[in-house]
């Protein structure tokens, strides 16, 4: 960590060794042993802040100045789990207003959107407050910057599940999919919400229409095909819905569709039929379709995975 980067983070910083209120503390240097394998060249500012942090940690000091020290330490390294843990202990001992802590975290997360420790700390604070009012707006703002931010999606699902905030989520997800139909995270969130409500016949019918309409618009979109595969897994015993999926895929193929995801999906469909069918002539018909799809994928449409499609054909044949 360079001096320049530390100076930019804390331009008005005064060394702790120059602060009269810290004169009673003896900083505790990091002990890397007599023969460190790779000695990190910490800046003077970084070393001093963490030397004082180690001192208050060793003394188990829970005070306002210790809380401020954790803030400086986290500004220099927001991924330090020990500092976050100790900060939580101080907040508890001092009975601090945790809503203020969420405001502090808003700023930290804005600049550290993929930092696991920050998101974990926030979850603990939200649990203690038992108040999710800030969480959906926060994650929505983060997802505007990065629609596929894993940490933001995980935190959003946590808040929705814990506090039963499902009601408006489908509308939010639909907006994201409309903005970017290939947003796999938004499709995944849609499935997460649907699992909560349950895959009734009505929901399945609606979602199949929703998905196939978007596949027609952008046929070579893996996210939508994976979502359709997930819906199909919920159609066991729902003959109308299963038939709808079969008819849609076959019609798309007959109309000239030769997309990798369509062909792969047709292999799955015909394998299901092949495995469930007891009539030998029908089994042969399904196998012939599988063989054809595997062949054109391996030779024309997905030749880079030729060995995979040949393996798929052999595996199905052996069954």
Cα–Cα dist 163/161, whole Å? 6
Rounded to whole angstroms, what are the CA distances from 258 to 176, 242, 244, 250, 253? 27, 21, 19, 11, 7
What tokens does 274 get?
């092949």
314 exposed, middle or buried (CB, 10 Å; 0-12, 13-18, 19+)?
exposed
**Inter-residue contact 241 to 204 (CB < 8 Å):** yes
DSSP string across 177-234? HHH-TT-HHHHHHHHHHHHHH---HHHHHHHHHHHHHHHHHSTT-HHHHHHHHHHHHT
Is residue 144 flagged as an active site residue?
A: no
Q: Are 254 and 264 in contact (CB under 8 A)?
A: no
**What number of CA atoms fall less than 13 Å from residue 311's CA on the CB side?**
4
Annotated catalytic residue within 114, 144, 195, 282: 114
Which active-site residues does the annotation give?
Answer: 114
């Amino acid at each position: 960590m360079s001096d320049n980067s530390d100076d930019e983070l804390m331009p008005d910083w005064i060394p702790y060794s120059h602060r009269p209120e810290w004169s009673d503390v003896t900083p505790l240097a990091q002990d890397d042993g007599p023969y460190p394998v790779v000695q990190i060249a910490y800046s003077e500012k970084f070393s001093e802040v963490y030397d004082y942090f180690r001192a208050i940690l060793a003394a188990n000091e829970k005070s306002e100045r210790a809380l401020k020290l954790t803030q400086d330490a986290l500004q220099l390294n927001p991924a330090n789990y020990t500092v976050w843990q100790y900060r939580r202990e101080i907040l508890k001992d001092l009975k601090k207003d945790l809503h203020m802590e969420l405001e502090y975290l808003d700023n930290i997360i804005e600049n550290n959107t993929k930092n696991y420790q920050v998101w974990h700390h926030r979850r603990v604070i939200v649990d203690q407050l038992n108040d999710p009012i800030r969480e959906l707006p926060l994650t929505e703002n983060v997802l505007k910057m990065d629609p596929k931010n894993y940490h933001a999606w995980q935190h959003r699902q946590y808040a929705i599940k814990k506090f039963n905030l499902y009601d408006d989520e489908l509308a939010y997800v639909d907006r994201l999919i409309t903005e970017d139909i290939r947003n796999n995270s938004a499709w995944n969130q849609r499935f997460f919400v649907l699992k909560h409500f349950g895959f009734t016949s009505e929901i399945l019918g609606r979602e199949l229409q929703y998905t196939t309409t978007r596949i027609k618009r952008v046929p070579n979109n893996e996210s939508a095909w994976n979502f359709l595969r997930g819906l199909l897994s919920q159609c066991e015993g729902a003959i109308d819905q299963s038939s709808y999926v079969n008819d849609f895929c076959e019609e798309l193929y007959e109309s000239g569709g030769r997309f990798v995801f369509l062909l792969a999906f047709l292999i799955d469909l015909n394998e299901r039929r092949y495995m469930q069918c007891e009539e030998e002539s029908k089994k042969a018909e399904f196998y012939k379709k599988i063989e054809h799809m595997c062949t054109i994928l391996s030779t024309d449409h997905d030749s880079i995975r030729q060995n995979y499609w040949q393996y798929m054909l052999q595996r199905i044949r052996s069954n």
